[in-house]
């Protein structure tokens, strides 16, 4: 008579899930917080969520039935959407790789102090000062960062001035000042000035004939 087969070890689902979550949390802590060269939590956390999602597609019966019942065209579109979401989540430079942008629940706190911002301040023929904002003059652009290259900045300023003059022919732009503004996040207690400090970076003369 052969020896009876050993009964396989079976764990309660709650215990198994708890053990898996503990291992994942321990791995994230090791990679993102305990390692001398940590990997950003935004990378390790999203990687673990991605692994859990892929395991659900592979082993969770309701997810498997849902996907297998899809038409092939729907599966392809669904895969492209999921792939784009994954690529966006691991995009570190969201402005560079738009529209593959990272989606975050919580905003990112800015640690630099003061916060620097470049502004294009135009002076019209009547002497009025107006801000040249890309998002206002070109509504199809949602958010725009000024280029670091000086030549590209000048071309941008002249294009924006031309667009502004087309909309305000009775009071066109005559000159544009590129300013850098500094806003202190934590001003000293004895400092009463609340307005940002301004510094002129470059002056541009805008010819009405251009």
What was the pLDDT predicted at 18? 79
Handedness of CA 72, 78, 81, 84 (dihedral sign): negative
Q: Per the domain annotation, does 153 fall within a domain?
A: yes
Q: Per the domain annotation, does 88 fall within a domain?
A: no
What was the pLDDT predicted at 105? 61
Residues 121 and 196 in one domain: yes
Q: Look up the domain containing 40 and give its range.
A: 13-69
Domain tally for the chain? 2
Longest Cα–Cα distance in the chain: 107
Cβ neighbours of residue 81 under 8 Å, at least 6 residues apart? Answer: none
Helix (H, G, I), strand (E, B) or coil at 205: strand
Cα 204 to chain centroid distance, Å, stands at 31
What was the pLDDT predicted at 106? 58
Q: Per the domain annotation, does 122 fall within a domain?
A: yes
In order of 132, 159, 172, 176, the CA distances from 119 in angstroms are: 8, 15, 19, 10
Residues 198 and 130 in one domain: yes
Residues 63 and 119 in one domain: no
Residue 107, both tokens: 């905003």
Residues 205 and 133 in one domain: yes
What was the pLDDT predicted at 1? 45
pLDDT in tens, the chain (210 residues): 455 556 665 666 667 777 877 888 888 888 888 878 788 777 787 788 788 878 777 778 888 888 888 899 998 998 888 888 777 777 766 666 766 666 666 556 667 777 788 899 999 999 899 999 998 998 888 778 888 888 999 999 999 999 999 999 899 999 999 998 887 777 777 766 566 778 888 999 987 544
Residues 65 and 127 in one domain: no
Q: Per the domain annotation, does 99 fall within a domain?
A: no
Q: Per the domain annotation, does 6 fall within a domain?
A: no
Q: Per the domain annotation, does 91 fall within a domain?
A: no
Residue 182, both tokens: 């500094």
Q: Per the domain annotation, does 81 fall within a domain?
A: no
What was the pLDDT predicted at 122? 93
Q: Per the domain annotation, does 143 fall within a domain?
A: yes
Residues 62 and 131 in one domain: no
Q: What is the DSSP letter of 113?
A: S
Residues 62 and 122 in one domain: no
Q: Could you say which of 31, 52, 69 is where a domain stops?
A: 69
Q: How far apart are CA 97 and CA 90, in angstroms?
A: 11
Residues 125 and 40 in one domain: no
What was the pLDDT predicted at 93? 67
* Predicted TM-score of the model (pTM): 0.53
Q: How far apart are CA 7 and CA 34, in angstroms?
A: 39
């Amino acid at each position: 008579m052969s020896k009876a087969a050993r009964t396989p070890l079976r764990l309660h689902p709650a215990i198994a899930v708890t053990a898996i979550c503990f291992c994942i949390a321990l791995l994230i802590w090791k990679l993102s917080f305990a390692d001398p060269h940590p990997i950003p939590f935004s990378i390790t956390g999203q990687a673990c969520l991605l692994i859990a999602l892929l395991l659900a597609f592979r082993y969770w019966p309701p997810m498997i039935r849902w996907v297998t019942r899809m038409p092939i065209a729907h599966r392809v579109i669904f895969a492209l959407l999921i792939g784009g979401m994954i690529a966006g989540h691991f995009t570190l430079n969201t402005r560079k790789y738009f529209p593959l942008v990272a989606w975050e629940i919580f905003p990112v706190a800015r640690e630099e102090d003061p916060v620097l911002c470049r502004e294009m301040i135009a002076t019209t023929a009547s002497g009025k000062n107006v801000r040249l904002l890309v998002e206002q003059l070109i509504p199809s652009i949602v958010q725009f960062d000024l280029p670091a290259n000086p030549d590209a900045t000048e071309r941008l300023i002249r294009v924006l001035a031309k667009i502004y003059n087309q909309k305000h022919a009775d009071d066109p732009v005559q000159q544009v000042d590129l300013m850098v503004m500094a806003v202190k996040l934590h001003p000293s207690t004895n400092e009463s000035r609340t307005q940002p400090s301004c510094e002129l970076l470059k002056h541009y003369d805008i010819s009405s004939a251009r």
